[in-house]
Amino acid sequence: METDAVRSNYKILICDKVDDILVSGLTSRKLDVSYEPEISPQELMQRIPEFDVIVVRSRTKVTGDVIEKGRRLKVIARAGVGIDNIDVKAAQKNNIKIVTAAGSSTDSVVELAISLAINLARHIPELCSNAKRGMFNKKTGVELHSKTAGIIGFGRIGFQTAISLRALGMNIIAYDPIQNEERISSVSGRYSTLQELLKVSDLIFVMVTLDSGSKPVLQEKELSMLKHSAIIVNTSRAEAIHGPSLLNYLKLNRSSSYATDVLVNEPPVEEWEKELVSLDNVIVTPHIGAQTVEAQQRIAMLTLERLLETIGVE
C-alpha cells in the first residue's frame, strides 16, 4: 500500500461523463481528481501535461499527439470496452498502461442489439411515428424465428447475443478468426467463412473489436454478397463497415435495412453519414449500448478496481 504522500502525486483527469461510483471511489482515496466530462480536444491538449492518469469513455480521443504531450502519463483507463479511440501503439511506445472494463456492458449491448433487430424486422420506428400522427396503416414484417443469424465477431457480446437469438428460434452461424468450439456448439451453431455467412444469413450482427488501425470487415465486395432483404445490426464500431459503400448498398437495396448504435462521428459530420442516417431503411441510436443503470455501475466499479490495482492503491 502506498503512503498518502505518494498517492497525492497521482493526478487523474476524467474526461467523459462516468458514474459517481468511479469519481467518489477515487476522491475518497485522497487521489487528486479533476472531473471534466465535457473537456474539448483543444483543452485536453493544453491540460494533459499535468496528469498521470486519464480516464475516458468513447467521446474523448486519446490520439498520438495527446499521448506525446502527456509527459507524466502512466495509465489510460477506458471506462468501457472498445479501445479504438486510443492510439494503442503510441501508448505502448511510451510505456503507458491501458486498463478497460471489458465484459461489463455485455448484457446491455446484447439487449440493444436484439431490440434493434426486432425494430427493423417489424418496422417499429416508422409505424410508431405514423401511429402517433393518427396513421394506423399496417406494414408487414418478418419473424426472427427459423431465420439465420450471421454473427461477425463471436466474442463476449457475439456469443451472448447468439444465446438469446437461439432462444428466439434462430439458426446461428458465426465468423471469427478465433474459434471456440464449445461456445458455438452450445448454441447449436457453426463457424463459417465470412463469404458464406454473408450469402446465407437473413440477419447480420456486426460485433467485432477494432483498433484504431483496423480495416472495415464489410466493404463493397462483401456487401454485394448479402441477401437482398438482409437486416444488418451494428453495435460494435461504425468503422467495421465501409461507410460510403454501405450508403450505396442501402440506397440500391431498399428491402435491406440497417440499424446502428455507432457512427464514425457522433453526431454525423460527413455528408455520406448524414445521408445514411436519413434513409428510411436505417435506424440509429446515439451510442447507448452500455447506457443502462446496471452497465454504467458495473463499468465504474470495474474501472475503479483495475485502475487502483494498476497504480498500486488499495
Residues of the shown chain interacting with ligand NAD in the complex, contacts defined by CB under 6 A:
81-82, 102, 105-106, 109, 152-158, 175-178, 207-209, 217, 235-237, 261-262, 287, 289-290
The answer to whether 109 and 162 have CB atoms below 8 angstroms apart is no
Q: Which of 68, 111, 196, 266 is catalytic?
A: 266
266 is catalytic: yes
Return the number of the residue (70 or 216) whose C-beta is nearest ligand NAD: 216
Q: 3-class DSSP state for residue 270?
A: coil
Minimum CB separation of residue 177 from ligand NAD in Å reads: 6
Q: At closest approach, how far in Å is the CB of 30 from ligand NAD?
A: 31
Cβ count near 277 (within 10 Å): 15
Please give the span between the terminal C-alpha atoms of the chain, in angstroms, as a whole number. 6
190 is known as an active-site residue: no
Least distance in angstroms from the C-beta of 281 to ligand NAD? 20
145 is an active site residue: no
Q: Which of 47, 78, 183, 237 is catalytic?
A: 237
Minimum CB distance to ligand NAD smaller for 172 or for 262: 262
Cβ 203 vs Cβ 49: under 8 Å: no
C-beta closer to ligand NAD: residue 197 or 231? 197
Q: How far is the CB of 104 from ligand NAD (least distance, A)?
A: 9
Distance CA 87, CA 68 (A): 11
Q: Between residues 33 and 79, which has the closer beta carbon with respect to ligand NAD?
A: 79
**How many residues are recorded in the chain?**
314
Residue whose C-beta lies closest to ligand NAD: 155
Q: How far is the CB of 73 from ligand NAD (least distance, A)?
A: 23
Contact indicator for 157, 235 with CB cutoff of 8 Å: yes
The whole-angstrom separation of Cα 208 and Cα 311 is: 30
Rounded Cα distance between 272 and 264, Å, is: 11
Task: Name the phi and psi angles at 32, rounded to 5.
Answer: -85, 105
DSSP 214: P
Of 60, 203, 68, the C-alpha closest to 141 is 203
By annotation, the residues acting in catalysis are 237, 266, 287
